[in-house]
Amino acid sequence: MKIVQVSPYDYMHPGGVNQHIFSLGEHLTRMGHEVKYILPSSRSKEHPKSGNIVFIGRPVPIHASGSIVRCPVSPYLLFSDRICETLELEKFDIVHLHEPLFPPLTTACLRYSCSTNIGTFHAYRPGSWGYWFGRRVLNHWVSKLNGRIAVSQPALDFISRYFPGDYTIIPNGIELERFATPAKPIEEFRDGKINILFVGRLEKRKGFGHLLQAFRYVKKENPNTRLIVVGPPGWSRWKYELLVRMYQLEDVVFVGYVSAEDLPRYYHTADVFCAPATGSESFGIVLLEAMAASKPIVASNIGGYASVISRDIDGLLVNPRDAKTLAGALDLLINDQPLRERLGAHGRLKAEEYGWDKIAHRVMDYYERVIGD
């Protein structure tokens, strides 16, 4: 089968959706299918030398839902000859659009596609003015989708509020073996201290500020602890580093960006993983990565995370934006090693359900069912 994966997000700024399409494409390729990609790029001179990626559109940063998304905004893409010519030349069996109603790139591909069109909806936002005001126009593009996938129940609830219809839930996947295989811990952090790990962008909705407040309480009760922060640098990091100095907090280590090869080492260095996001999360890929590494988790009780974690079985869920409750859950795990081991073991079993081998086969089964229908 000939398949194209389309993403509206900048190739040069790795994120969950682009990670998803390339992992899915890799596993579909292993299954014997031909896979290509269409997505924008902000730095054209740094494109990889690959014949299976078509770069269309120049993304710009947009502030949305407490985050920054980088995607094209030029309306000229809706009339792009290059998109039309690419789809006409390649004659794909499946055009798989991720966030298919995100203009202009994915909607343009949907407009010109004469193939079987599959849309995957990744986002969850409590409210979307764009969908609310644009739903009459976007309904025209929805009608061109032959199949609709949502990555979680919260994502389905969100999109079906504006565009009711038949959706199938197929979650994000993870490279199970990459995180489950024991990796050499980071030597400088193996000094007997309990390591709490945070992985993610230091955006407001990721809740790191609440974790920092919680760590103040944790550090007073448990001096032998450390907070390791893994994520790309930015202006928010300097703000949090200033807070660390103001609070006179010790043992908060901002590692910065970590390569894909080294990331599993940080999970295997940690004793506890913490995800304190405040909302707008449709899923929790970082939760699954920590689970695959058999690490106990403390996470906010928000829809996207609660769809992955079973409370008190493979992780602890706490109220979002509640630093004291978060500190209490961290304190519980710090002082209860058997509980850490039990949660980690159950999490490892849960992660097996989300290995890309299984998820890619579910996606292919869905393609075949939609084509058959």
What number of other Cβ atoms are within 10 A of residue 104's Cβ? 21
> According to the model, what pLDDT value does residue 350 have?
97
Query: How far is residue 43's CA from residue 290's CA, in Å, rounded to a whole number?
Result: 32
**Domain ranges (residues) in the chain:** 2-173+355-372, 176-353
Contact between 210 and 278 (Cβ < 8 Å): yes
Q: pTM score, two decimals?
A: 0.92
Residue 135 identity: R
Alpha helices, H only, the chain: 16-30, 81-90, 105-112, 129-142, 153-162, 176-180, 208-221, 235-247, 263-269, 285-292, 303-306, 323-334, 337-351, 356-372
CA distances from 164 to 20, 143, 268, 343 (A): 25, 11, 42, 37
| Adjacent-strand bridge partners of 64 | 67
In terms of Cβ atoms closer than 10 Å to its own Cβ (0-12, 13-18, 19+), residue 254 is middle
Chain segment 133-166, per-residue pLDDT in tens: 777 778 888 999 999 999 999 999 999 999 999 9
Coil, strand or helix: which one is 127?
coil
> According to the model, what pLDDT value does residue 234 have?
76
Q: Give kind and range of the element (H or E) at residue 199.
A: strand 194-199
CATH for the 176-353 domain, from 3.40.50.620, 3.40.50.10610, 3.40.50.2000, 3.50.50.60: 3.40.50.2000
> What is the homologous superfamily of the domain 2-173+355-372 according to CATH?
Glycogen Phosphorylase B; (3.40.50.2000)
Tell me whether the CATH fold assigned to 2-173+355-372 matches the one assigned to 176-353: yes
Backbone angles phi, psi at 311, to 5 degrees: -55, 130
Tokens 């014997």 locate to 32
Q: Which stretches in the chain have pLDDT values below 70?
A: 44-50, 64-67, 126-129, 132
Structure tokens at 261: 């090869």
Query: How far is residue 292's CA from residue 299's CA, in Å, rounded to a whole number?
Result: 16
What number of other Cβ atoms are within 10 A of residue 236's Cβ? 17
Query: How far is residue 149's CA from residue 144's CA, in Å, rounded to a whole number?
Result: 14
Which long-range CB contacts under 8 A does 73-80 form with residues at least 24 apart?
73/104, 74/104, 75/103, 75/104, 76/104, 77/104, 77/105, 77/108, 78/103, 78/104, 78/107, 78/108, 78/111, 79/108, 80/56, 80/108
